[in-house]
Structure 1
Amino acid sequence: MVGTKNNRRAQQTRQNIQDALIHLMSEKKFNSISVTDICKIADINRGTFYAHFVDVADCMHYMEKETANKLFDILKNDKQSDPVEVLLEAIFELVKKNNKVFNYILSDDQDFLLNTLSTTKQNFFEQLVPKHDDLSDSERQFFYEYTLNGIVGMIRHWIKNGMRESPKTLVTYLDKWC
C-alpha cells in the first residue's frame, strides 16, 4: 500500500540504506561515515534517508536491533532434539550473514552488546542450562558468563580471521570441547 511506512518499497529502500552503510563500514571507520556517503552508495537523496533514519547511528542501531531480534527468534523458536547444537549453529549462521554488524557490535558498541546480552540471559538459561539442573544459582551465573564470553570470543576470532570455518564446524569444535 502506497504511503504505508512498512510497504515493500520502503522496506527495500531501508535495506539499500543498510547495505550502503555495511559497504562503507568495510572501507572506513564508522564515525567517519556521513549521511551523504550513504546516500551516494544507496543512490538516494538525503530526504529519503531522513524519512527512514535520524542519522547514521540511528541506522546502525536499527540494524543492531534487527539482528538482535533475529537472535531472539532463534532462541525462542528452537525446539529441536538437540537444542544447543541447533541453536549455536543458527547463531553462527546469523553472524555469518550479518558479520559487519556483528563485528561492529562486538568491537565498537559495547553498550548495545551489554544490553543485548542481559536480555538474552533468561533465554540462555532456558535453552542451555536446564541440562545442568544440579547447579546452584551462583554456579549458573558463572556458567552463563563462562559460556557466553567463550562464544563471543570465538565469534570475534572467527570474524577477524575471515570466517573460513563453517558454522557447523564451529559447533563441532564446541561439542568436542564440552
Structure 2
Amino acid sequence: MKEMRQNRKTRYTRMVLQDSLIELMKQKPISKITIKEICETADINRTTFYDHFTDQYELLRTIEDQTLSYAKERLQRLLETDKNAAQKIIESIFEYFVENSNHIQVLMSEQGDVAFQKKLLKLIYEYCRSIPADAKLKDTKSADVINDEYFFVFAVNGSVGIIQHWLKTGLQKSAKEMAEILCSIVFI
C-alpha cells in the first residue's frame, strides 16, 4: 500500500513539475526559467525538485522523451494493424497533439527545442517511409523521391511549420483535416 501511494505521489509530483515548466515556457525560453520559478509554480520545494530532476533541461527532456515514446508506440501499433496507412499514421499523431495540446503547443512553439521538433517529425516520416511506396497514398511519387534526402529535409521542416501554424491558430482544423492537408502537400 505504501509503495503504491509513493508511486502515485511520485507520478503526481513529476506531472505537476512538467505542467509548471510548460506554463513557464509559454512566457519565456527555458534558458530564462529558474528552478525556483518551477517550484513556486508547482507549489513544491526545491529539494523535492532535485529528488526527481537535476535541472530544468532534464525536466524538459523528460517531457520530450515521453512525447516521442508515446508517438513511437502509436505509430508502431498502427503499422502492425494497417500497412496501407501513411495518412492514418499522421492523423494519429495529430490526434495525440489534440489530446496533449497544452504540452505540444509549447514544445512545438518558438520556445520549444527545434531539435525535439525535428526528432518528432523524423520519427513520423521514418515510419511513413517504411510503408511500401505503392501503399502510401494514391498520388505518391516513386520510392526514389520519398527516400531522397532533400525531399526528406523539406518535408520535415515544412511539416514543422504547418504544425506550428495549426497550434498557434488554436487547432481550428481537426486531426483528420490536418493529416489530409499534410499528406496532400508532402505526398503530391
Same fold, TM-score > 0.5, yes or no: yes
1:41 maps to which residue?
41
1:87 maps to which residue?
89
Measure the CA separation in 1 of the matches of 2:63 and 2:108: 10
Could you list the per-position Cα deviations for residues 90-115 of structure 1 after superposition, in whole angstroms to 9, with x for gaps in the alignment?
11122231454454356342333445
Distance 1:60 1:129, change over 3 A: farther
Measure the CA separation in 1 of the matches of 2:126 and 2:184: 25
| 1:74, distance to aligned residue in structure 2 (A) | 1.6
Measure the CA separation in 2 of the matches of 1:105 and 1:175: 19
Cα-Cα RMSD: 3.0
2:159 maps to which residue?
151
**Higher deviation after alignment, 126-135 or 154-163:** 126-135
Aligned residues: 176
1:67 maps to which residue?
67
Measure the CA separation in 1 of the matches of 2:89 and 2:123: 16
Measure the CA separation in 1 of the matches of 2:72 and 2:132: 14
**Is the CA contact 2:95–2:175 (under 8 Å) kept in the aligned structure 1?**
yes
**Higher deviation after alignment, 127-136 or 46-55:** 127-136
TM-score (norm 2): 0.76
SS at match of 2:172: coil
Could you list the per-position Cα deviations for residues 87-138 of structure 1 after superposition, in whole angstroms to 9, with x for gaps in the alignment?
11111122231454454356342333445555555423114746369433x6
**Is the CA contact 1:64–1:105 (under 8 Å) kept in the aligned structure 2?**
no
Counterpart of 1:173 in structure 2: which amino acid? I
**Higher deviation after alignment, 148-157 or 99-108:** 99-108
**Is the CA contact 1:74–1:90 (under 8 Å) kept in the aligned structure 2?**
yes
| 1:27, distance to aligned residue in structure 2 (A) | 2.7
Say if 2:127 is the partner of 1:123.
Answer: yes
| 1:75, distance to aligned residue in structure 2 (A) | 1.5
Could you list the per-position Cα deviations for residues 16-56 of structure 1 after superposition, in whole angstroms to 9, with x for gaps in the alignment?
11011111122333222111111112111111111111111
Structure 2 gap ranges (5+): none
SS at match of 2:48: helix
2:116 maps to which residue?
112
**Higher deviation after alignment, 126-135 or 40-49:** 126-135
Structure 1 gap ranges (5+): none
Distance 1:115 1:29, change over 3 A: closer
1:140 maps to which residue?
147
TM-score (norm 1): 0.79
Counterpart of 2:93 in structure 1: which amino acid? I
Quote the sequence identity (%): 28
Measure the CA separation in 1 of the matches of 2:91 and 2:124: 17
SS at match of 1:162: coil
Distance 1:176 1:51, change over 3 A: same
